[in-house]
Amino acid sequence: MLDALIISLQLALTTTLLLLLIALPLAYVLAFVSFKGRTVLEVIVALPLVLPPTVLGYYVLLMIAPDSWLGSAWASVFDSSLAFSFSGMVIASVLYSLPFAVQPMQQAFRAVPKSWLELGKTRGMSIKPMLRHIILPASKGGVLVAAALSFAHTMGEFGVVLMVGGSIPGETKVASIALFELVEMQQQQEAAQLALILLAVSFVMLSVVYSINRKPLVAGS
Amino acid sequence: MNHIRITTKLGSLNLDVQADFAHEVIVISGENGAGKTTLLRCLAGLEACQGQLQIAGDVWLDSAAGFVKPTEQRNIGFVWSDAVLLPWLDAQANITLGVKDGDAAWFNQVCEALEVSPLLKRKPAMLSTGEAQRVALARALYIKPSLLLLDEPFSAQAPDIRLRLRQALKDLQQTLDIPVLMVSHDAEDAKVLAQQHWRMREGKLMNSVASTKVFATDARR
């Protein structure tokens, strides 16, 4: 049980860190750039919200299978299989939680006052300094919400990680799957404990989100 | 010499401005909706317009050739009618925003002249409207702009400090030797500060270039 919890936490942490890096350019583009195919990109980012996790897991599995482009490239570099591995689960989790990271950041970026962006331009700022000095400090709350939601959502995954990870004890068996197996084996007491822990983690994460949303998003104002 | 020949349409406003000016202070007055702020924004490159702009020997806009110099390359000092200070930075960091290896002596000179030196460690939330306005003016001057654009920069100042600020602005303008365009409803600003006084109505300058030159014959120079 402890093994599974640790794997869940590791997965959630890795996924959250990667997601922040990936979501930043996506949120920036969706918030500030108008281009052809924008709607398509928005739909793709939002898809995991409505897609059955098993469907997403199925496609990720195809993508990382040993005979796939990504799977064989991974195997030749790391000499290991991506399917049914922790790394494979990370890829799946990143895709699965993508909207939870992108959407709060996108909304926060859009809420940055136009005059602040204009100010940045009069200071000679290109995209990178603008992000560093104006957009990100102004969107701190949105970035924190993105991180908290990504973390909580990854902790709560079931279908995707089962498809892609395969529930290998000590490797890819995460807490939510462990709970399912505990119930199946009628280990009531341990199941109750694990359920309570997962409930508490979700409660804490959502409390963080809601308390940030209540406060003004800009530090110091 | 600086040349402006620009037109633009924004909502119900048809801006059509032609003017020449030296490195001098120009006060722009006119009713609400006359296009004063839009003119400043066009010069800053924050609003799209057609025509030609030549400022300080540099071409900023040449629609015939399809050339537009982006705002971030124009080296502009812009003061919005509200201060537009970043709330998470103290006054000093707001003034030096985006500038690496700034000129410390110039910083002190600007801050002394505009009476913001005692305010430097304060966050914008701890500044009065008038103080915030002076910090915004210091910020615009600190970068040693090629063109200074001011939208009612003294509107929140008490009468006594307004007198001193006019003199300070004049001194700083002469030190930098740059053109200053200043929107103001205060007749004293035009009388004391301006070498040219432009009156705007429905997007156009009511006094021609020639007449402004006559008008602007400045006894104090």
Domain ranges of chain B: 24-46+75-215
Beta-carbon separation of B98 and A124 below 8 A: yes
Nearest to A220 among B45, B88, B98 (CB): B88
Contact between residue B144 and residue B99 where contact means Cβ atoms under 8 Å apart:
no
> pLDDT tens per residue, chain B (221 residues)?
899 999 999 999 999 999 999 999 999 999 998 999 999 999 999 999 999 999 988 999 999 999 999 999 999 999 999 999 999 999 999 999 999 888 999 999 999 999 999 999 999 999 999 999 999 999 999 999 999 999 999 999 999 999 999 999 999 999 999 999 999 988 889 888 999 999 999 999 987 444 344 444 443 43
What interface predicted TM-score (ipTM) does this complex get?
Answer: 0.90
Chain centre distance of CA B200: 16
B143: chain A residues, CB-CB within 8 Å? 123
Residues of A in contact with B78 (CB under 8 A): 118-119, 122
pLDDT score of A213 = 78
Is B84 in contact with A119 (Cβ distance < 8 A)? yes
pLDDT of the residue at A199: 95
Residue found by looking up tokens 């979700």 in the block: A202
Residues β-bridged to residue B20: B3
pLDDT digits (tens, 9 = 90+) for A98-108: 999 999 999 99
CB distance from B35 to chain A under 8 Å?
no
What one-character-per-residue DSSP string does B21-63 give? E-SSEEEEEE-TTSSHHHHHHHHHTSS--EEEEEETTEEEEEG
Q: pLDDT-derived band of residue A216, with 50, 70 and 90 as boundaries? A: low
CATH 3.30.499.10 fits B24-46+75-215, yes or no: no
CB contact under 8 A, A221 and B125: yes
Name the band, by pLDDT with cuts 50, 70 and 90, for residue A120: very high
Half-sphere exposure of B2 (CA within 13 A, CB side): 22
Whether the predicted pLDDT of A50 surpasses 90 = yes
Give the DSSP per-residue string, B97-119.
Answer: TT-SS--HHHHHHHHHHTT-GGG
Residues in chain A within 8 Å Cβ distance of B60: none
What pLDDT digit, counting tens, does each position of A184-207 carry? 999 999 999 999 999 999 999 999
- Chain B residues closer than 8 Å to A138 by CB: 86, 88
Query: Does residue A66 contact residue A83 with C-beta atoms inside 8 Å?
Result: yes
Q: Which of B42, B84, B99, B123 would best serve as a mutation to test chain A binding (most A beta carbons within 10 A)?
A: B84
For residue B57, what pLDDT is reported?
87
Output Rg (C-alpha) for chain A, integer angstroms: 19
Residues A15-29 pLDDT 10s: 999 999 999 999 999
**Mean predicted confidence (pLDDT) in A62-91:** 91
pLDDT score recorded for residue A215? 66
pLDDT, average across residues A161-182: 92
What integer pLDDT is reported at residue A1 of this predicted model?
79
Q: Domains, chain A, ranges and CATH?
A: 2-214 (1.10.3720.10)
Task: Calculate what percentage of chain A has a pLDDT beyond 90.
Answer: 81
Q: Are B20 and B2 in contact (CB under 8 A)?
A: yes
Interatomic CA distance for residues A87 and A66, integer angstroms: 13
Q: Tell me the mean pLDDT in the region A174-186.
A: 93
Give chain B's end-to-end CA distance (angstroms, integer).
18
Confidence of residue A218 (pLDDT cuts 50, 70, 90): low
Q: In this complex, do A122 and B125 lie within 8 Å of one another by their Cβ atoms?
A: no
Residue of A165, A162, A154 whose CA lies nearest to A181:
A162
CB-based contact, B125 to chain A, within 8 Å: yes
d(CA B183, CA B202): 15
Structure pTM?
0.87
